[in-house]
Amino acid sequence: MEPLILYFVLFFPRVFSIISSGGISQEIELPETIQFSMVRELGRTLTYTIPSLALIWYIILNKKSLSSLKQERPGKQDILPFAIGLPGLIFIGMGISFVILLFSRYEGFIPPLRVEAPGTILGWVVMVFSCLGTGYLEESYFRYYLLTRLESQLPPVTIRIVFSTILFSLCHIYEGPWGIINAVLAGLLLSILFIRYKSLHGIAWAHGAYNIFVYTMGNFGS
């Protein structure tokens, strides 16, 4: 029960707020750009990302089932999962973009949301900090905590990966169907990398760097 309670406390409120306000239908019916706001990103990082990350790691450090992992420090062992993860995430994202181009000619096509890049150096600093924080938050819970915490309840690793990926994709429901597909494929890749290499930092770096890549591509989307 603890993993689900933690999920609903940390991640479900933002999903519920979008559903209850009708935000999904509004966002996926019309082409829309997510405008970058330095104040919003900094506020979200300081009031949500950092406190949520602190809570997850408070729980991790007090769980005997995670004792074999909680002493992990960044090191050479994280380079390979990062080197595999980042190109893999970019390949998934670009592949989905290619499919979107193929379907864009059809009537009724639902375009994905477009992300606007920061316009100032300070904005880029805030964006990078926000992306890395989000990468660590989501990887700490969905991979590091969840896949390990459920090992005794759900021994088959495939079931744990599927369960983690479903919860991960629900957090991206605001991005519409294409965002959900991207989250499913990315979640599977990151879960497999974590199971194989037991590296939080490598996949968190890859996740954060991919988010930065998405913002960077916003410069070329207009």
Instruction: Render pLDDT for 190-220 as a digit per residue (tens, 0 to 9).
Output: 999 999 999 999 999 999 999 999 998 866 6
Who's near 119: CB < 8 A, 6+ residues apart?
A: 36
Question: What pLDDT is recorded for position 31?
Answer: 42
**197 and 81 Cβ atoms separated by less than 8 Å:** yes
Question: What does pLDDT average to over the chain?
Answer: 85
How would residue 16 be classed by pLDDT, with cut points 50, 70 and 90?
low
User: Which residues lie across from 80 on neighbouring strands?
Assistant: none
Kindly tell me if the per-residue pLDDT of 174 is higher than 90.
no
Is residue 15 within 8 Å of residue 170, measured between CB atoms? Answer: yes
> What is this structure's pTM?
0.87
Cα 110 from chain centroid (whole Å): 22
CA distances from 66 to 6, 39, 82, 125 (A): 16, 36, 22, 33
pLDDT of residue 82: 97
| Cα end-to-end distance, the chain, whole Å | 45
| Choice between 152 and 221, residue whose per-residue pLDDT is larger | 152
The residues spanned by each domain of the chain are: 1-7+79-101+118-222
In a 3-state reduction of DSSP, which class is residue 117?
A: coil
Residue 56: pLDDT band (50, 70, 90) is: very high
**What confidence score (pLDDT) does residue 29 get?**
43
